[in-house]
Amino acid sequence: MTRAHHFLGILATACSLPLLCATASAADPPPGTEPGDSNALQEVVVTSSYKEQSDDSVKMGVPIRDTPFSIDSYTNSFMTSIETQQIADLYRYMTGLQKAGITGYNLTIRGFSTIDSDRNTFLTDGLPGLAVRFGSPPTIGVDHIELVKGAASLLYGQATPGGFVNIITKKPQDTAATEIETRGTLNASDYSRVRGGDVAFDSTGPLGSDRVLYRVVGQISDDRYFRGSSYERGKYLVPMVTVKLNDTTTATVQFEYRSVSADYENVGLLAPYTPTAATVAQLAPIQTVYTAPGTSRDERGTTTSFFLKHEFANRGSLNVSLRSVDHHDYAYAFDITGFDKKDPTFNTLDLRARGQSNQRTYNFADANLVLPFDTGFLQHRVIAGIDAGKEIDDFRRTRFCAINSPGKPLANPACNIGANEYTVSVDNPDFSDIPPPGAFGAGALADNYIVSQTVAGYLSDLVTLSSHWKALAGVRYSKDKLTAYVNRYTVGVPPAQQRTSTTLPQAGIIYQPNDNWSYYASYSTSYTPIDPSTQALTTSPLFKPSEGKGGEIGAKAGFLHHRINVTGAVFLIDQTNVLTPYAGGTDALCPTGSCDIQVGAARSKGAELELDAKPTDALTFIAGYAYTNAVVTKSSATGPIVGDALPNAPRNALHFWSRYDVLHGALRGFGAGLGLSYIGSRVANTGTPALPGEFTLPSYEVVDLGLYKAFANGLDMTVKINNLFGKTYYQDGAITSGMVSVDAGTPRTAELYLTWTF
């Protein structure tokens, strides 16, 4: 697919690659490449729209209009038009999705936020497990991105009620093509340290035989960001081979290596979490960073994937997918653990020396059979499948030493603090007089070892009842086992364990009065097991999985041979079995004073409207609006306040991106793109009776601009300006250790992309 990539951070998204440049069809595709093939490398101008009308996430090989759910399939043209290196930078142009934290797994979808242990929030080719946790996946290896919204556990198992993201990676192609891309990023505002760049490549074609195909994707990047000493350096390499075993059977093996080295920071901008809510006016300047020079967070991961597909003569198929992930991350740094309790003005922060070594191993498999057949006048398309997986998490503290108090050496001699007290200022953090983390002792060490296992079967049938009516019904049965060894080397501490079984139904009805319109209604369910290391009351049974149940009514319409596509939906999702704090305090039932009980519930209701259009060969645009009302509906006496909003869930969100390419005349080859995203106000926390104040993040709007130029011989240039008007804004927030932690958005930057395709 053509990724004519982006080139100067001052002129927003460019037409360097296929899809966003999609509206222009000035240049012919390379020989042997079909214009609609989004997985093949293409030249300068793109010939497709920003969203596809078919998807991989339902596994049945049917058009999106034949599914009674909200599924958005964003093409490579979309990614190349908006011109970005990381998937996370696309979120504000995706309806119903928001960034909600520092890891790749932290999202808010339809009002429900995920955490960094929700591995099924992000799938890769339908199976869980990213190669690294903190860095968002690079777009150079992505063919398209599918956003499945709602309580959708039937085909994929564990999922939050809001939905999940499914990355479909690039695969080897029949036609030989190579793309080389370079990016340079420069400061375009008052933050002079912003600079960086990357070199990426994508090469595919036959490997000595038309039955053996290869593809290799790679990237090396080095960036410095606007906050203090923050940086990120990455390496990414994905070789793969596809073998055509015969005319109907293919097998693909894919290997991925990714490493990311970055500064370590466990908090964003800070404000006190008090009964009376703080405001963004109390935050330090957005370039403030609470990280000591020389500290770091390094991670690396390898994945091995295998795909087998056999197609039957009746349009059925057998599909087998395997994915194995081995991930390690290491931290050598200081944690900010809270405001210094001896300072009533909330101007100084306590520290903790941290050393961490984490290992995660994922092994997952899925096999399914898609069978079309008729029974009388009914036409069936059945999918029957099984999946299984095992995740092992080994979290080791190699240093964990609170160093803010002179009294600590007596309480914990292993910390070796001495008589000094070390704190940093909220507004002007200075670590110059503080020894490095390694100068302190080990402190309180721990090794938590968690094993999660799942095995499930699923069955779904899409039935064509008549020329206008279709129905879908399905069910999933899953058995899960979670075992947690908390401080597993501590003598006499037994493992915590959960065994659960879950039955998940799904149903929908579709009415299609003509080839343009498709109306639907559906009911779906989801579940998310609770971490077995969570402390329960000693007399309580093991926690049940958190469950989601959702209803949705919508319409999908396509006009001008799907040059213009409109979708709309209204939804209602309930989440139950949510953990909330135990109200009893410290007593015989809860000796730690920090136990949870499973009495919470939440509800999200809203509406979404999306437009994807390519009305002419020169113009392509996408737009979306989401209204989301997500609130707590049930809680304990000390838990979240019923009726209060869920965090990082804006009531209103709007986005628009448009690109125009000049196809004729003296300016042929030039193009321009303009984007706007608006995110309404939202809270960083849900209030509790003890701390009812909510920290509100104000609404914001960001404008991006892109300029594109396609030269002869496959060379494309993009100049992009992100945040054209230099808006100061805050993306997301969270409550941690008595603090409000807020992530600021990126100021204006200019990027220059040069892409050569041959």
Structure tokens at 125: 């080719």
Single-letter amino acid code for the residue at 708: Y
Q: How far apart are the first and last CA of the chain?
A: 12
Written as six digits, the tokens of 583 are 């109200």
User: Which residue in the block uniquely carries the two structure tokens 């070892």?
Assistant: 449
Residues 338-347: tens digit of each pLDDT: 888 888 888 9
Strand 596-613 with 619-634, pairing: antiparallel
Q: What is the pLDDT of residue 648?
A: 93
The whole-number pLDDT of residue 591 equals: 55
Cα distances from 183 to residues 177, 221, 232, in angstroms, run 20, 9, 15
What are residue 702's DSSP bridge partners?
A: 677
What is residue 495's DSSP assignment?
A: P
Q: 2 in a domain, yes or no?
A: no
User: What is residue 491's predicted lDDT score, i.e. its pLDDT?
Assistant: 58
Secondary element (H or E) of residue 632: strand 619-634
In order, the DSSP letters of 141-170 are GEEEEEEEESS--TTT----TTEEEEEEE-
DSSP-assigned states of every residue in 275-287: SS---GGGSPPTT
Structural domain contains residue 10:
no
Task: Please report the pLDDT score of residue 543 as a whole number.
Answer: 78
Tokens of 323: 């994915």
- Domain annotation covers residue 8: no
In a domain, 306, yes or no: yes
State the CB neighbour count (10 A cutoff) for residue 352: 23
Q: Kindly give the parts of the chain with pLDDT less than 50.
A: 1-47, 408-410, 586-587
Residue 709's Cβ-count burial label (10 Å; 0-12, 13-18, 19+) is buried
CATH code: domain of residue 646: 2.40.170.20
Domain containing residue 648: 20-757
Given this model, what pLDDT does residue 535 score? 61
Please tell me the distance from the alpha carbon of residue 47 to that of residue 52, in angstroms, as a whole number.
12
Indicate the number of domains in the chain.
1
Residue 43, pLDDT score: 40
Q: Which helix (H) or strand (E) holds 244?
A: strand 231-246
Whether 124 is covered by a domain: the verdict is yes
Q: Is 9 within a domain?
A: no
**Whole-angstrom distance, CA of residue 258 vs CA of residue 394:** 20
Q: How far apart are CA 111 and CA 602, in angstroms?
A: 10
| SS3 (DSSP) at 81 | helix
pLDDT of residue 548: 95
In degrees, rounded to 5, the angle at the alpha carbon of residue 727 between the alpha carbons of residues 650 and 696 is 35
678 inside domain: yes
Put the strands of the sheet holding 739-744 in their side by side order.
269-272, 739-744, 730-736
Give the pLDDT of residue 448. Answer: 85
In a domain, 11, yes or no: no
Distance CA 750, CA 266 (A): 28
Place of tokens 């900010």: 336
